[in-house]
Amino acid sequence: MSSMTCPDRRARPKSSRGAAIFTARSLVVAVLVTLAGCATPDRAPVLAPPVYITQSTWWQIDSDIGAASRAAAAPAGNYARGSMESWRQRVEQRTEANFIPWFTGYWTQQWLAVKVAWYKLSGGEGTDPAVQRLAAYLQEQYRDRVLAPVAREIDPDAVREQATTLYVRLLGEQLEDIARRYGVPADQFAGRLRDIPAIALAPPPAHSASLYQLVHADPLAGLPAYAALSTRSGTGAGLSESRVSPVAKRASERLVARLATSGGAGAAAAAVGGVAGMIISLGAAGYGAIAHENERPEMEAQLRETLNAAVHDMWLGLTEDPVSGVMTGVHYLSTQIEGSLARPLAQPVQSEPAPREIPLPDEPLLEDDESDGGALPDDWETEE
C-alpha cells in the first residue's frame, strides 16, 4: 500500500510546476506585447480636407459686408440724431435763461458801450473794427455762458465717439454672422477682412488699419489709426460769424448812440460840478435805465430770432455735416469700407460656343434671277 501511494505524491509537484511555467510564459508574452505596443509609433492625425470657397461666394460675402455696414450705420445715426436733438433743446433753454438776459441787461449794455468806444479808439484811421471785435466778444461769451455748460451734459465730440463705437460694434457682430452663414473657416474670413482697408490716412503706416483690426480693437480708441482719425474729426460747435455779425452791428450802432448821449450828460455834470452835477449824472443814468427798459423787449425779440436761427445752423451742421458733424467717424468708415467692396457682385457670364451648323438635306438649286449667267449651261446638266 505504501509503495502505491508514493507515485501519487510525486505526480502533484509536476502538475504545479506546469501551471507555474504556463503562467510565467503568459506574463512574458503580455509584457512583450505591451512593450511592442509602446514601441509602435503614433499614427499621424487625419487632416480634414481644406474648405474651398468659390469666387462667387466671396463676391456674395463682400455684398453682405457692404449691407452690414449700411445696417450698422442706421442705428448709429439714430443715436446721434436723438442725442443732438436733446443738445439743441438744452442750448435753446440756456440761451433763453442766461445769454439773452445777460446781453440785454442795462449794465451789460453800459459795459459794451465802453468796449465799443475802446474798439473805435484803438482802430486806425479809416477803419471801424468795432463790429468785428464785438462779434468776436459775443461769440466768446456765448461759448462760455451756453455751449460749454451744455457740453458738460451732452458733448458733441462724445456723441461722435459713441456713435462711431456703436457702428463698429454692430458691424463686428454682423461679420461673425456672415462667417457662420457661409461656413467660412476663421482663418480664411480673417484674411479677407485684413484685405479690406477701413482707415487709410496719410503716412505713417500706423495711421491705416484694416477692417479686421477695426472690429477687433479693444478698446477702439487704442487703435492708433482710429486715434488719428478722431483727432481730425473734432466738431467744434460755435456761433457762425454770418449769424452773429448782424447782432454785433446793430448793438454797435445802438451802443455808440447811447455813448454819445451819456457823454453829453457827463459833460453837463462836469460843468455844473458839486451836488448839482451829481444830481444831473444820477438823473441821466435814471433816464438811461428807463429808456433801456422800454427798448429791451424789442432788443430781446431781435436777439432771440437771430440766436434761434444760429442754434438751428449749429444743430444742422453737427447732425448732418459729414466732415465736422457727429457722424463724421461713421461716415468715413462706412464710405471707406463700402468703397473698397465696390466690384462686380456676380460671376462674369461665360460666353458659350456657337452652336454647330446642321447640314440641311439636299435641295434643288434655286435660280438666281439677278445673276449674270442666267440659266445653267447645258453641259452641267446630268445626262441620262
Closest among 156, 144, 55 to 98, alpha carbons compared: 144
Instruction: Name the pLDDT band for 351 (thresholds 50, 70, 90).
Output: very low
Instruction: Name the pLDDT band for 377 (thresholds 50, 70, 90).
Output: very low
* Residue 209 CA: distances (Å) to CA of 63, 191, 194, 227, 343: 21, 14, 9, 11, 21
Q: Does some domain include residue 268?
A: yes
The domain of 76 spans 55-340
Q: What single string gives the DSSP state of each residue in 193-211?
A: HHTSEEEE-SSSGGGEEEH
Number of domains within the chain: 1
Q: What is the mean pLDDT of residues 320-331?
A: 92
Q: Does some domain include residue 358?
A: no
- pTM flag (> 0.75): no
Distance of alpha carbon 143 from alpha carbon 381, whole angstroms: 110
Q: What is the mean pLDDT of the chain?
A: 76
Q: Does some domain include residue 12?
A: no
Q: Does some domain include residue 301?
A: yes
Residue 255: the pLDDT is 73
Residue 238: the pLDDT is 73
- 109-167 pLDDT, tens digit per residue, is 888 887 887 777 776 555 567 788 888 888 899 999 999 999 999 999 999 999 999 99
Q: What is the mean pLDDT of residues 222-250?
A: 80
Distance of alpha carbon 306 from alpha carbon 298, whole angstroms: 13
Q: Does some domain include residue 187?
A: yes
Q: Does some domain include residue 197?
A: yes
Strands (E), 340-382: none
Give percent of the chain with pLDDT exceeding 70. 66
Closest among 182, 177, 209, 180 to 196, alpha carbons compared: 209
- 41-98 pLDDT, tens digit per residue, is 556 666 667 778 899 999 999 999 999 999 999 999 999 999 999 999 999 999 999 9
Q: Is the pLDDT of residue 372 over 60?
A: no
Closest among 67, 69, 48, 47 to 59, alpha carbons compared: 67
Residue 20: the pLDDT is 55
Closest among 239, 245, 242, 246 to 143, alpha carbons compared: 239
Residue with cell 482697408: 197
Q: Does some domain include residue 23?
A: no
Q: Does some domain include residue 350?
A: no
Q: Which residue has better confidence, 343 or 104?
A: 104
Q: Which residue has better confidence, 260 or 8?
A: 260
Distance of alpha carbon 245 from alpha carbon 134, whole angstroms: 9
Residue 15: the pLDDT is 53
Q: Is the pLDDT of residue 383 over 50?
A: no
